[in-house]
């Protein structure tokens, strides 16, 4: 237990070594590079779509698209909203407004935390990586909750409320609602964030091994 | 070892991340991805269907229907399965239907009828919408609301002598008017009435860069609506060739910059603008150089023989560049506020020349490189070819004879290059890309293919010679080949526009449809089969032009919500979602409405008898094909609101009562519920009974 905790959080107080000693370790350089690249990937992800929903119906031969970025949505919003009003679903623009508004600020903060981690090698800085590593999961969970909220809270006075019961939209893969079939998939923004997560995880690993090695060298000296 | 592992890790992960980004194209347009769209469109590049292999029982089907192998081939050449687009678009006049027809080739399917001079309810043209009413009123004359037209010769706008797919012009023979259609939305934007004449025939033809739109006159009258008895025909009656200045930026004819040439009272006929070598010149036919005045009583001579006495009529040769210079220099008079270049000025300044042409000519068609002009004399069996170089040489030689009005007459032998014996009733000629001309033969009911000479003959074939004729059914007027009157004809497809169909279609009563026949001209030689008959049951088309479909770049929906098709821009005052209102100011009521599937907002308008109502309505849809109608019962109002479009209607609520209005397009499953009520409260109780 203690070993695994140590593995996660890095060396204990007794393992403390000098900055100079740590910096000499190649693992430290590797971790710094991984943190920086991870941070860059996270920053880049803001410019790429995270998720896309395609709605298919006979009268829309090209399909209708909803594309979600971390800070905005685009695609055939007006048309999808127009269709949704028949079943009493609220306009898409009103969903996750706070999340989308704070996303750039929050992402900046998360990235700064990772960069702090890259340049400051105190072991208790390690938890700073957690928000960045959880970004993809937070995104998915938030979207799922909103979609479920939207699907479950339909206006009962809508024209087709008798025909379409409250439902939870499928957020990954294939689904069906009314005459529409839906295909949802994760896109490059999400994969960038995931890559960032993995890179930072490896960064933590190398940071820890570098610290242990440095401690060992110090002890030997 | 550890270091190697770390470097390897970075080397693998970073490219993965980058690759991941590039695989998913970023959607910058907010629209579905282009490649996904085109992949599902059945255009020519779509090769999803297996070619070659034919289903097993085609022979049985063909034999059961009595189809020959050639019939089956024709069917295969013209059939478009669902979703397959046509390669060419034909714009044909709708004759005295007063509209324009849009037809796909080779399928010959009617794609659309463009409301032009005549109110048309499907497009909401002339049924309450202010914009359409204003366009129609632009063509009013002589205190008349002119609401029909005889559309004859459409002209697509050109750049460097080639169709550019931007605008379409169409003339009205009956009233001497022309209309401008914007091909971004296929809607009529302007109707202009000729202020000095009430009839024409030689329009529309455009100069190679669409600076000018040519309208040749027809039945001469005293110009400007004046009166003179026919005994004064020779002195007081005049013909005209009008040159309309086109402002491409605005997409409108500018009458202020336009002018008409006064010409002798022959009956001017079809024209064509010179191109390349002959750019800056215009050529028009004429008939009735006899100055026949018709049969007023039992002893007179009727027009049909009176106007056919001379063996030769006169081709009008106009130096347009020089005419425009004279107009710019103010050498004009004014009639009804319109600039006129007097006949004597044209003669003195070398703007107008005549040369004889076989009588009763019709087509007057400049060859693709601009060096020859081909005239079909309906009562002659030749296509007569004139050389622009020879015309210029004859002008330079000077020493002219003149006609009775003093117009220089260039000798026929000096201007004529060749006469090609084709058959009876040669009428109109277009061209291909292999040095052949195609001429309709009215009396023979046939299409002739013949060789051009000069630089067109590189294949060793004998120049100026008939190659083959294909019978058509029946009485062919004009014909059109793909881009066949431009500087670069495509050499594909020919449409014979037959006036009579007689026995070609099921009997639909004594008024018969016209017959458009598609001929395949791509195989060359003596092969030129008719492969499709298409009935046209909406008017009598005359001329048509055929443009490559990919040159047309029409809107799929209007670009922005609140689009005014008249200004082709967003109207900042257009109602939008959330800004709907009913505002009363005394007895003036302004209603601002939106339409979206499947409701109007607001849905109730309460008026008092006598209110002046101004109603603005926007279709706030963005989906392709999500058009809404707006029809008010017993008010003669029906609008067509295409996605994004905004319209205005004004009326006085004279009739008390309750008037539902509804959407005339079946827009959705709840279309019947897309309705509103207009209540007009009577000004007194007694008035509530109709």
DSSP per residue, B260-300: EEEE-SSEEEEEEE--GGGTTEEEEEEE-TT-----SSTTS
Tell me the three state secondary structure of residue B385: strand
Same domain, B496 and B576: no
> What is the predicted pLDDT for the residue at B171?
96
What percent of chain B has pLDDT above 70? 91
- B656 within 8 A of B680, measured Cβ to Cβ: yes
Bridge partners, residue B288, by sequence:
none
Same domain, B547 and B572: no
Query: Residue B366: inside a domain, yes or no?
Result: yes
Residue B469 contacts by C-beta under 8 Å, 6 or more apart in sequence?
B422, B423, B441, B444, B446, B447, B448, B449
Tell me the three state secondary structure of residue B40: helix
Nearest CA distance, A191 vs chain B (angstrom): 7
Interatomic CA distance for residues A56 and A182, integer angstroms: 6
Interatomic CA distance for residues B639 and B650, integer angstroms: 12
CA nearest to A115, candidates A33, A28, A27, A192: A33
CB of A96 less than 8 A from some CB of B: no
- A211 within 8 A of A203, measured Cβ to Cβ: no
Beta strands in B423-571 (DSSP E): 426-431, 436-441, 446-451, 466-471, 476-481, 494-498, 514-519, 530-536, 544-548, 563-564, 569-570
Answer whether A79 sits within 8 Å of B37, measured CB to CB. Answer: no
Same domain, B641 and B510: no
Q: Residue for token digits 């204003």?
A: B134
Using the predicted structure, report yes or no on whether residue B681 has a pLDDT greater than 90.
yes
Among B531, B551, B571, which residue terminates a domain? B551
Torsion, Cα of A212, A216, A221, B5 (10° steps): -70
- B430 within 8 A of B406, measured Cβ to Cβ: no
Using the predicted structure, report yes or no on whether residue A4 has a pLDDT greater than 70.
no
Residue B424 contacts by C-beta under 8 Å, 6 or more apart in sequence?
B381, B441, B442, B443, B444
Beta strands in B571-627 (DSSP E): 581-585, 588-596, 599-601, 604-608, 612-619
Among A30-34, B134-138, B346-350, B465-469, the minimum mean pLDDT is found in A30-34
Residue in A with minimal Cα distance to B42: A61
Instruction: Choose the closest CB to A82 out of B32, B40, B597.
Output: B597
Residues of A in contact with B24 (CB under 8 A): 48-49, 187-188, 191
What percent of chain A has pLDDT above 90? 62
- Both structure tokens of B27: 């959607």
> What is the predicted pLDDT for the residue at A160?
87
CB of A75 less than 8 A from some CB of B: yes
- A130 within 8 A of A188, measured Cβ to Cβ: no
pLDDT band at A165 (very low <50, low <70, confident <90, very high): confident
Nearest CA distance, B184 vs chain A (angstrom): 22
- The reply to whether omega before B602 is within 30° of 0 (cis) is yes
Please compute, for residue B611, the number of CA atoms within 13 A of its CA located in the half-sphere on the CB side.
Answer: 25
Same domain, B195 and B322: yes
Q: What is the pLDDT of residues B507-528, one digit of tens each?
A: 999 999 999 999 999 988 899 9
Tell me the three state secondary structure of residue B382: strand
Count of residues for chain A?
A: 221
pLDDT band at A21 (very low <50, low <70, confident <90, very high): low
Answer whether A202 sits within 8 Å of B13, measured CB to CB. Answer: yes
- Phi/psi region, residue A52 (left: phi>0; alpha: psi -120 to 50; beta: rest), is beta
Same domain, B521 and B580: no
CATH (domain of B196): 2.130.10.10
Same domain, B112 and B214: yes
- Which of B496 and A164 is assigned the larger pLDDT? B496
Same domain, B517 and B567: no
| Three-state DSSP string of B194-215 | CCCCCCEEEEEEECCCCCEEEE
- Both structure tokens of B348: 């003195």
Using the predicted structure, report yes or no on whether residue B438 has a pLDDT greater than 80.
yes
Instruction: Choose the closest CB to A195 out of B6, B7, B13.
Output: B13
Among A149-158, B8-17, B144-153, B285-294, the minimum mean pLDDT is found in B8-17
Q: Reply yes or no on domain A18-208 having CATH 3.30.70.
A: no
- B400 within 8 A of B421, measured Cβ to Cβ: no
Interatomic CA distance for residues B517 and B446, integer angstroms: 11
Residues of B in contact with A198 (CB under 8 A): 13
Answer whether B21 sits within 8 Å of A26, measured CB to CB. Answer: no
Q: What is the pLDDT of residues B197-237, one digit of tens each?
A: 999 998 899 999 999 999 999 999 999 999 999 999 999 99
Mutate to test the interface with A, among B8, B19, B24 (most CBs of A within 10 A): B24
Same domain, B337 and B476: yes
Residues of B in contact with A41 (CB under 8 A): 17
Interatomic CA distance for residues B326 and B343, integer angstroms: 12
Residue in A with minimal Cα distance to B596: A82
Interatomic CA distance for residues A185 and B34, integer angstroms: 18
Query: Residue B113: inside a domain, yes or no?
Result: yes
Q: Mean pLDDT, to the nearest integer, of A89-104?
A: 92
Residues of B in contact with A86 (CB under 8 A): 598, 670
- Both structure tokens of B640: 């067509």
Same domain, B398 and B430: yes
Interface of A with B in 121-180 (CB under 8 A): 159
> What is the predicted pLDDT for the residue at B656?
96
Query: Residue B58: inside a domain, yes or no?
Result: no
Same domain, B415 and B500: yes
DSSP per residue, A165-193: ------SSEEEEETTEEEEEEE-HHHHHH
Torsion, Cα of A100, A102, A108, A114 (10° steps): -90
Q: In which domain, by residue range, is B217 found?
A: 88-551
Interatomic CA distance for residues B220 and A103, integer angstroms: 76
Among A113-127, A179-193, B4-18, B669-683, the minimum mean pLDDT is found in B4-18
Query: Residue B53: inside a domain, yes or no?
Result: no
Using the predicted structure, report yes or no on whether residue B47 has a pLDDT greater than 50.
no
Query: Residue B83: inside a domain, yes or no?
Result: no
- Both structure tokens of B661: 């209005």
pLDDT band at B463 (very low <50, low <70, confident <90, very high): very high
> What is the predicted pLDDT for the residue at B33?
41
Query: Residue B20: inside a domain, yes or no?
Result: no
Residues of A in contact with B30 (CB under 8 A): 67, 74-75
Answer whether A49 sits within 8 Å of B9, measured CB to CB. Answer: no
Query: Residue B584: inside a domain, yes or no?
Result: yes
> Residues B386, B388, B390, B391: is their CA dihedral positive or negative?
positive
pLDDT band at A207 (very low <50, low <70, confident <90, very high): confident
Ranges of each domain in chain A: 18-208
Nearest CA distance, B23 vs chain A (angstrom): 8
Among B487, B521, B551, which residue terminates a domain? B551
Please state at what angle helix A188-220 crosses helix A129-152, rounded to 10 degrees. Answer: 150
Among B482, B517, B551, which residue terminates a domain? B551
Instruction: Choose the closest CB to B32 out of A62, A199, A209.
Output: A62
Query: Residue B61: inside a domain, yes or no?
Result: no
Interatomic CA distance for residues A39 and B408, integer angstroms: 86
Answer whether A75 sits within 8 Å of B10, measured CB to CB. Answer: no
pLDDT band at B20 (very low <50, low <70, confident <90, very high): very low
Same domain, B316 and B199: yes
Residues of B in contact with A199 (CB under 8 A): 13, 17
CA B332 to chain centre: 31
Mutate to test the interface with B, among A32, A76, A78 (most CBs of B within 10 A): A78
pLDDT band at B18 (very low <50, low <70, confident <90, very high): very low
Instruction: Choose the closest CB to A187 out of B24, B31, B673.
Output: B24
Q: Residue for token digits 């698209």?
A: A65
Same domain, B448 and B518: yes
Number of structural domains found in chain B: 2
Q: Mean pLDDT, to the nearest integer, of B448-477?
A: 96
């Amino acid at each position: 237990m203690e070993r695994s905790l140590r593995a996660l959080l890095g060396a204990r107080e007794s393992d403390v070594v000098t900055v100079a000693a740590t910096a000499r370790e190649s693992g430290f350089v590797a971790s710094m590079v991984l943190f920086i690249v991870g941070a860059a990937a996270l920053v880049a992800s803001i410019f790429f779509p995270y998720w896309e929903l395609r709605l298919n119906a006979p009268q829309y031969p090209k399909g209708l698209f909803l594309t979600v970025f971390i800070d905005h949505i685009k695609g055939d919003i007006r048309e999808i909203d127009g269709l949704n009003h028949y079943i009493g679903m609220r306009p898409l623009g009103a969903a996750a407004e706070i999340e989308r508004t704070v996303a750039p600020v929050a992402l900046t903060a998360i990235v700064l935390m990772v960069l702090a981690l890259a340049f400051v090698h105190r072991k208790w800085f390690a938890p700073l990586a957690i928000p960045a590593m959880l970004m993809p999961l937070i995104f998915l969970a938030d979207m799922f909750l909103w979609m479920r909220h939207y699907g479950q809270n339909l206006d009962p006075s809508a024209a087709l409320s008798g025909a379409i019961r409250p439902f939870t939209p499928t957020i990954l893969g294939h689904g069906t609602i009314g005459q529409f079939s839906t295909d949802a998939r994760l896109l490059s923004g999400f994969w960038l964030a995931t890559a960032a997560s993995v890179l930072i995880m490896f960064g933590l690993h190398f940071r820890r091994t570098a610290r242990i090695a440095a401690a060992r060298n110090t002890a030997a000296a | 070892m550890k270091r190697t592992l770390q470097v390897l890790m970075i080397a693998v992960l970073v490219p993965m991340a980058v690759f991941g980004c590039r695989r998913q194209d970023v959607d910058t347009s907010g629209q579905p991805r282009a490649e996904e769209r085109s992949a599902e469109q059945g255009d020519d590049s779509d090769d999803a269907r297996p070619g070659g292999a034919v289903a097993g029982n085609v022979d049985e089907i063909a034999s059961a229907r009595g189809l020959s192998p050639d019939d089956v081939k024709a069917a295969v050449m013209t059939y478009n399965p669902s979703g397959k687009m046509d390669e060419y678009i034909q714009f044909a006049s709708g004759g005295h239907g007063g509209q324009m027809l849009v037809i796909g080739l080779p399928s010959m399917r009617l794609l659309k009828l463009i409301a032009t001079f005549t109110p048309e309810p499907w497009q909401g043209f002339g049924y309450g919408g202010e914009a359409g009413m204003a366009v129609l009123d632009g063509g009013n004359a002589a205190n008349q609301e002119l609401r029909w037209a005889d559309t004859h010769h459409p002209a697509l706008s050109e750049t460097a002598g080639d169709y550019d797919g931007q605008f379409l012009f169409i003339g009205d023979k009956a009233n001497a008017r022309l209309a401008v259609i914007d091909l971004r939305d296929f809607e009529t934007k302007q109707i202009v009435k000729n202020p000095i004449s009430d009839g024409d025939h030689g329009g529309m033809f455009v100069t190679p860069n669409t600076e000018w739109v040519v309208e040749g006159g027809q039945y001469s009258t005293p110009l400007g609506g004046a009166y003179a008895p026919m005994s004064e025909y020779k002195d007081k009656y005049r013909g005209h060739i009008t040159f309309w200045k086109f402002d491409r930026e605005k997409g409108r004819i500018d009458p202020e910059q336009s002018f008409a040439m006064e010409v002798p009272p022959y009956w001017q006929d079809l024209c064509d603008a010179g191109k390349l070598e002959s750019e800056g010149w215009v050529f028009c036919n004429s008939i009735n150089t006899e100055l026949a005045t018709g049969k007023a009583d039992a002893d007179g001579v009727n027009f049909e023989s009176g106007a056919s006495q001379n063996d030769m009529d006169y081709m009008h040769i106009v130096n347009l560049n020089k005419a425009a210079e004279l107009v710019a220099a103010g050498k004009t008079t004014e009639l009804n506020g319109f600039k006129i270049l007097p006949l004597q000025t044209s003669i003195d300044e070398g703007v107008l020349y005549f040369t004889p042409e076989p009588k009763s000519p019709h087509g007057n068609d400049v060859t693709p490189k601009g060096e020859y002009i081909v005239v079909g004399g309906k009562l002659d069996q030749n296509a007569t070819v004139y050389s622009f170089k020879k015309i210029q040489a004859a002008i330079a030689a000077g020493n002219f004879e003149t006609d009775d009005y003093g117009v220089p007459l260039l000798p026929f032998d000096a201007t004529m290059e060749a006469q090609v014996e084709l058959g009876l009733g040669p009428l109109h000629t277009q061209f291909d890309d292999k040095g052949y001309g195609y001429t309709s033969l009215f009396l023979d009911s046939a299409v002739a293919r013949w060789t051009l000479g000069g630089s067109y003959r590189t294949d060793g074939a004998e120049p100026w010679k008939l190659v083959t004729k294909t019978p058509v059914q029946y009485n062919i007027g004009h014909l059109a080949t793909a881009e066949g009157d431009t500087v670069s004809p495509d050499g594909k497809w020919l449409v014979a526009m037959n006036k009579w169909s007689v026995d070609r279609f099921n009997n639909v009563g004594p008024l018969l449809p016209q017959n458009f026949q598609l001929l395949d001209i791509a195989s060359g030689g003596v092969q030129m089969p008719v492969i499709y008959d298409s009935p046209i049951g909406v008017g009598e088309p005359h001329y048509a032009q055929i443009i490559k479909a990919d040159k047309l770049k029409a809107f799929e929906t209007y670009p922005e919500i609140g689009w005014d098709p008249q200004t082709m821009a967003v109207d900042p005052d257009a109602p939008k979602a959330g800004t709907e209102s009913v505002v009363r100011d005394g007895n003036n009521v302004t209603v601002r409405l939106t339409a979206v599937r499947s409701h109007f907002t607001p849905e109730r308008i309460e008026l008092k008898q006598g209110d002046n109502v101004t109603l603005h309505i926007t279709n706030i849809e963005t989906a392709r094909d999500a058009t809404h109608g707006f029809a008010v019962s017993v008010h003669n109002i029906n609008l067509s609101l295409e996605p994004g479009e905004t319209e205005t209607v004004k009326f006085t609520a004279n009739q008390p009562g309750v008037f539902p209005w509804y959407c005339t397009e079946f827009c959705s499953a709840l279309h019947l519920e897309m309705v509103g009520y207009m209540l007009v409260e009577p000004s007194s109780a007694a008035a509530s009974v109709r």
